Homo-oligomer: A and B are copies of this chain.
Amino acid sequence: MNKKAIALMAACVFLLSACQTKDPDIKETESVGEETETTSQLSGDYYSAIITDGTYKTSLNRGITLGLNSNVNLKAFETGLMDLSQSHFSPDSYYFQEGQYIDAETTSKWLARATEKNPEGLNPEDNGKLEPNERNPIYLDSLLEQNYMVKDGDGFTLGGISIGLAMNTVDYYTQKEFGAEYETKISREELLAEGKKMADKIVQRLRETEGVGDIPIVVGIFEQSTKDNLAGGVYISETISQDGATTVQDWKSINQKKVIFPTSGEESTELSSFENFKSEIENFFPNLSGVTAEALYTDDQIVNMKVAINTQFYGESEIIAFTQNVAEKASSYLLPNIPIEITIKSVNGTEAFLSRKSGETEFYTHVFD
């Protein structure tokens, strides 16, 4: 599953296929007069996106994920849900479309606290307390909807919906406007229990939404990482509501974590291999300012690694030679057999990029010039 996600992000080359479609006004089947293209896939690992009249259809609550704690959370929240969706909606027969059923106004209401005026609020009502351990925290920080479409004659029809719930492990709040920031910590247990209750309500509401009917609905609970964490969060539990069921059961927990090397890694083969790599390349230039990695673990096995190197360069020859050196040392020292992505940055932005996919022994290398 994770390998697929990596492949999804690692390289996407697509061919064009244009289709004529039937009816513009009915959501379930797109649409007379419009021209619907898809970005059709070269490999079974990628979803093709639906493009209508040359234009990408953004979600009805576009931009909602920008409210997450960090950019890495945003990316993990979205790609993680595509990843989960793959085992239910195969990229071979399903096409991707951003969510078209939960609009921005509805999302705002759902993400807000429950009040008399907003009974739809999924977060708990304000109990009037201000202390971190006494107040009711905001559990649900963001909500993501993805649609998985299937071909239907010349058009596309809805084949599945995936919902991501981004839950807080820390709820950041202020006690007065522009005041200092306080934190309410939320345990994983509490976060899961709350997320599951919310999932029930969301599925029930979606079943009542026009066009959804008894379409399968996948729900994933995403544990958002904190603001100061270099790694994004992970999905920790998932389920699917089938046959028009209005509740969700049979949650399946997902054993995933992201570890930042060298700071938060425990002793392990992969940590020591990373440390050897780091010390080798730090020798190359005296002024290497940072070498870190984010390792993703599934069921306690490392499944991929993203290395970020920050440094200062005094010329292009240095960048080229350094990139060559990194490619060599990465091949020699980093774990074989897992996909690895390495980004080399300076104050001028991304200077070079290296990537090795699963099963490859050499790094693809590109120096930006």
Contact = CB atoms under 8 A, between A and B. Distances in A.
A315 B78 contact: yes
A321 interface: yes
A82 interface: yes
A314 B55 contact: no
Given A56-B284, A62-B314, A75-B316, A327 B369 contact: no
Given A54-B280, A328-B39, A78 B13 contact: no
Contacts of A58: 314-315, 318
A364 interface: yes
Contacts of A355: 366
Contacts of A316: 65, 74-75, 77-79
Contacts of A332: 16
Interface string A75-112: 11111001000000000000010100000000000000
A355 B352 CA distance: 13
Interface stretch (A115-123, A149-157, A343-351): A343-351
A256 interface: no
B11 A362 contact: no
A235 interface: no
B14 A327 contact: yes
A53 B283 CA distance: 9
Given A13-B364, A316-B74, A56 B96 contact: no
Contact of A74 (B14, B46, B315): B315
Given A13-B364, A16-B328, A367-B12, A320 B49 contact: yes
Nearest to A53: B283
Contacts of A15: 328, 331
Interface in A34-81: 39, 42, 46, 48-49, 51, 53-56, 58-59, 62-63, 65-66, 71, 74-79
Main secondary structure of the interface of A (DSSP, over half): mixed
Query: What is the oligomeric copy number?
Result: 2
Given A51-B325, A284-B51, A349-B350, A365 B13 contact: yes
A146 interface: yes
Contacts of A10: 366-367
B284 A54 contact: yes
Contact of A9 (B39, B65, B318, B369): B369
A251 interface: no
A42 B362 CA distance: 11
B324 A48 contact: yes
A318 B348 contact: no
A231 to B, nearest CB: 12
B12 A324 contact: yes
A11 B365 contact: yes
Given A51-B284, A76-B369, 16 more contacts: A8-B320, A9-B369, A10-B366, A13-B327, A13-B364, A15-B328, A15-B331, A63-B315, A65-B316, A79-B316, A82-B317, A96-B317, A96-B321, A343-B368, A353-B366, A353-B368
Interface of A: 8-16, 39, 42, 46, 48-49, 51, 53-56, 58-59, 62-63, 65-66, 71, 74-79, 82, 96, 98, 146, 280, 283-285, 314-318, 320-325, 327-328, 331-332, 343, 345, 348-350, 353, 355, 362-369
List of 8 A-B pairs having minimum Cβ-Cβ separation, nearest first: A78-B316, A49-B321, A39-B324, A63-B314, A350-B350, A54-B283, A75-B369, A14-B324
